[in-house]
Amino acid sequence: MREKKMTRTWVDVCIYLISFGLLWLWLEPLQALDAFQYYMPLLLFTGFTFVVTFLQLPILASLFIKGLAVFFMVDRLYFTAPLFSRSWRGFLREQVVINYQAVIDRHWAEITDVFQMVLLLVLMAIISYLIYFWVIVMRRAFVYTVLTLIYLTVMDTFTVFQANSTAYLLVFFVSLLLILNGYLKLQRRLGLPLKSSSFLLRLLVPFSIVLIASLFISQSLPYLTPQWPDPVPFLTAPFEDGVERTVGYGEDDTQLGGGFNHDDTLLFEATISDPNYWRIESKDIYTGKGWEAQQPPDFMPMTPFDNNQAQFELNYFEAATFDKVVYPYYLTGVEESDTHQYEINIEQEVIRTVDTDPTEAVIQMNYDPFYFTEDHLRMGSREVPTEWRHLLQLPSSLPERVYQLADEITAGLSHPYDKAIAIERYFRTSGFQYRTTDIPVPELDEDYVDQFLFESKVGYCDNFSTAMVVLLRAAGVPARWTKGFTQGERVTDGREDVYQVRSDNAHSWVEVYFNNAGFVPFEPTIGFDASPLVTETTTEADDTDTDSATDDETTDEPSTDESEETSETEENNQQVEESEEITTEEETAASQERDETRWRVIWLLSIVLLLTGLLLIVVYKQRLTLVLWYINKRYPTFNHVKQFEHAYQFLLFILAFKSIIKQRTETLLTFSARVDDYFKTAEMRRLTAAYTQVLYGEEKEIVAANHLKEDYLQLIKRILA
């Protein structure tokens, strides 16, 4: 008997330590989210309260020790003056007054950090007692483990917290806790002996082997990517109105991702005869989450000069809050101005005004609407100059499959221009979609480009342009990320060559470096007209063919066969293009239909699981009422022997369901005595005595049937309580 008591005490210590480990897992997400400052002191305080609770000291002594621990912890964390000194008492008095007034006035935001910490420490002390009562006294560890699993799942799904390593600890703690707690409950009900040696050999050792083997196998097996779309953006979309950004130009690009709200605020008007994209700045350091400048821009004065090139004018409105100057490609100079002085950063090609607001006057500049030919871009050397090698930078955390994709797209291509064109076309031929809402934000350990290329394949200009720059760099082509505005909308009020640019025109694209041409823009975003940026594809060979065709027209007419063949070829090409468009539309419609079907299935399963869970909760809550209704319906009276026999068998079934089972070596009387000792009753003995008398005697009727029915119902209530 002494050995049994010592062993159970030792097992209780293990169970309580595991319970503390589960509570530690509850605190881990709060640390990852920076929810509070003093994580380690809080963890040490919680462990101390667990020890005090487990010792089961008198209640006054326990409260005094825990209160003293709270006092000591708050003093060490927040009080800088010596204990009980004048300044110490003054600070304490000030805290009491401030927090008392905040609570009375219900101004919860005015509660100080000191009082918040006191409340948190008191809460942890209460939790230590509740866990002891629930796990050690009541032996209800299952509810605690389920709540822990739900909590960590929710935190992992809807916050930046990642439960990767925590999941292994959770499996270990939960498995061990349920095994120990279940064995103790079974031992208490059946009265089985529990020895340390057999316990370790027959339970803990096999469990450890199975757990280690399972973890090893799970790490060795291949990882299957999710087959269904991520439901989290769909679930969180109704609650993200305040999280989505508003479209427009912004300085901070360190964290890309997520959708945005449209904004048609008018920013500036431009008078220009040959418009293209309005450039503002470029960034060159990709972090895996967004973009940063390599270093703070070093500006130098920009000397105004005039020339005979085309001119444009910018007229900013008050809504344009940025101090940088927007300008079209191939800027050649700035006009002399009494109101504006300009500075330029040569490396990033950023222009800004000095000591003036660009919205205060009209800005006039000159540009040359010039386009390169493919041959001109191919003429230069393929070597990357030293001063631009930083445009090949990629983070070390970039997944390997991004490099593999870049190699696949550019396979067999050697020139940077061919690689750029191949990557630019890849987004239009590989199932990507342009969308501005319900755009997933990469997880804490997930790369922005990797998530877009292989997971979502939906996004807007930031997704497409960033992905193209990363793929170009992975293929060895120097490129940078550029942002500004599209050309805008031409006005229809009679003014010629005037374009209005709004916040909705904010855009980002790609600039690729060529040795003999400098930076040339490319447009990978689906749905955008790249004609202002795409270089002309006219080559010398094309010019030669054109000249030859002109000569032919002046000398000989083309033959009928050649013209018919050309006409047939054009018709075939047109038919192929139309069939490709139809096929793409059909594939898109089929994909949308599959997505809708998946969501219907998800909703249906969610509703079924919810209704099933509610039904199970109702059945569990009303289990006693349901069982009593069944008994009164099935066995209305005990006057008949058969009814009483069936009712007694049903009673044995209920006891077996509660893990109270008659052993083969036990008699009914011995078993009934054990049941009465367990539930502190005497009904089981009386029912068993009547049952054995009916079973082995010759009575045709039950004596005192009404009293037996009352004993029966009373015992059922005790069992199911």
Of 272, 483, 271, the residue nearest 368 (C-alpha):
272
Residue 234 binned pLDDT confidence (cut-offs 50, 70, 90): low
Residue 259 binned pLDDT confidence (cut-offs 50, 70, 90): confident
Of 652, 705, 706, 696, the residue nearest 675 (C-alpha):
652
What is the DSSP track for 291-333?
EE-SS----EEE-----SSEEEEEEE-TT----BPPB-SSEEE
Does residue 593 have a pLDDT over 50? yes
Domain ranges of the chain: 2-220, 248-542, 558-607, 623-720
Q: Over the stretch 612-654, which tens digit does the pLDDT of each residue have?
A: 777 777 777 777 777 778 777 777 777 777 777 888 888 888 7
Domain 248-542: assigned CATH number = 3.10.620.30
Residues 6+ apart with CB under 8 A from 706: 638
* Assigned token pair, 355: 């000591």
| Whole-number Å distance between alpha carbons of 416 and 512 | 9
Residue 403 binned pLDDT confidence (cut-offs 50, 70, 90): very high
Residue 23 binned pLDDT confidence (cut-offs 50, 70, 90): confident
Q: Are 486 and 460 in contact (CB under 8 A)?
A: no
Backbone angles phi, psi at 65, to 5 degrees: -65, -45
One-letter-per-residue 3-state SS of 231-292: CHHHHHHHHCCCCCEECCCCCCCCCCCCCEECCCCEEEEEECCCCCCEEEEEECEECCCCEE
**Burial of residue 435 (number of CB atoms within 10 Å: 0-12, 13-18, 19+):** middle
| Whole-number Å distance between alpha carbons of 325 and 367 | 14
Q: Over the stretch 461-481, which tens digit does the pLDDT of each residue have?
A: 888 999 999 999 999 999 998
pTM greater than 0.85 (yes/no):
no
| Whole-number Å distance between alpha carbons of 221 and 218 | 5
pLDDT, greater one: 208 or 102: 102
Report angle CA 112, 114, 120 to the nearest 5 degrees: 105
**SS3 state of residue 404:** helix
Q: Over the stretch 346-357, which tens digit does the pLDDT of each residue have?
A: 777 888 777 666
pLDDT given for residue 405 in this prediction: 92
**SS3 state of residue 198:** helix
Of 253, 279, 383, the residue nearest 331 (C-alpha):
279
| Whole-number Å distance between alpha carbons of 106 and 120 | 19
% of the chain with per-residue pLDDT over 70: 74
Q: Over the stretch 135-186, which tens digit does the pLDDT of each residue have?
A: 887 777 888 888 888 888 888 777 767 777 788 788 888 888 887 777 777 6
